[in-house]
Structure 1
Amino acid sequence: MLKNSGFTIVFLLWMGFVTVMSLISLSGVSAPTLRIPHMDKIVHFTFYFVATILGCFFARERTDGKLKLQKATMIFSLVTIIYGIIIEVLQHKLTVTRDGNIFDALANITGTFVGALIIIVVFSSNGRLKWRP
């Protein structure tokens, strides 16, 4: 059962990690003193960039490559964008130490689009890798 479920497991773990990290309070955690401008936007970008790529691999794994590349990237782009917006709303409504932010949502969307673009380029007909196994 788990033999062909590597991307499924990694995708679900990643989404759980994104959810927890987006909704828990980190106010009591001491962070390194290295200050990188807009680091939170880089983190948001990375979360959704990785989520989109893993989501596409999840779709490929679950459908044995039968779901077309364009459809998989479209589905997981929409899924991650909607998920990111829901997380931002939850941060605004449910948490005291987190705040939903339109710029965070834009970083999420940018990460999603870049992840989808990379999947399309890597698995395009001119690419070395093929979408169907």
Structure 2
Amino acid sequence: MERKYYFFISIFLTLIIGWGSLAPIGDSMPSTISISDKAIHILAYFLLTLSWLFSYKKESKKLKVSIIILVIVFIYGIIIEVLQGTVTKNRQPEAYDLLANLTGIILAITVFKQGLQKNF
């Protein structure tokens, strides 16, 4: 896939995660779904980080670029948590959400460096 497609996917995921994190929580989610909030954070930030790594695949071979992506995605997560505490009425920031975000980010970088980068 061309870089521009990965870039589009990255922007889309960034916006969707931002919207999903700041949208009001209502009764719209069926009660039969029992997915851990932290698992959702891990998966979301795993996919977000992976998409940005693929967007800059050639540059991501350098550890410095991967670390920059890690830092930017983590800061994005911090901004989202702060906004949850300031601009939403029924959401609050949680330190464990940031830990889950960081777990997803580190997993993505590990998976990318260990195998995906070589195959794409």
- Give the TM-score normalised by structure 2: 0.88
Q: Does 1:116 align with 2:106?
A: no
Q: Which of 32, 44, 47 is 1:47 aligned to?
A: 44
Q: Which runs of 5+ in 2 are unaligned?
A: none
Distance change >3 Å, CA 66–CA 35, structure 1 → 2: closer
Report the counterpart of residue 55 of structure 2 in structure 1: 58
Distance change >3 Å, CA 66–CA 108, structure 1 → 2: closer
Structure-2 separation of matches of 1:4 and 1:15: 16
Q: Which runs of 5+ in 1 are unaligned?
A: none
Give the letter aligned to residue 21 of structure 2. Answer: S
CA deviation profile, 1:60-111 (whole Å, cap 9, x unmatched)? 2xxxx24533223211111111110110011011111111100111100111
Give the letter aligned to residue 24 of structure 1. Answer: A
Tell me if structure 2 keeps the 8 A contact 1:69–1:120: no
Q: Does 1:105 align with 2:102?
A: no
What is the identity percentage for the equivalent residue pairs of Structure 1 and Structure 2?
27
- 2:119 partner SS: coil
Distance change >3 Å, CA 45–CA 120, structure 1 → 2: same
Runs of 4+ in 1 over 4 A off after TM superposition: none
- Whichever structure has more helix as a proportion of its residues is 2
Give the letter aligned to residue 44 of structure 1. Answer: H
- 2:56 partner SS: helix
Structure-1 separation of matches of 2:15 and 2:62: 25
Distance change >3 Å, CA 35–CA 28, structure 1 → 2: closer
User: Displacement, 1:42?
Assistant: 0.4
Structure-1 separation of matches of 2:101 and 2:7: 21
Q: Give the number of equivalent residue pairs.
A: 119
Of structures 1 and 2, the larger Rg is shown by: 1
Q: Which of 47, 65, 71 is 1:78 aligned to?
A: 71
Distance change >3 Å, CA 81–CA 68, structure 1 → 2: same
User: Displacement, 1:4?
Assistant: 4.6
Q: CA RMSD in A?
A: 1.9
Tell me if structure 1 keeps the 8 A contact 2:53–2:60: no
CA deviation profile, 1:5-44 (whole Å, cap 9, x unmatched)? 11010010010100000000121313241334xx110001
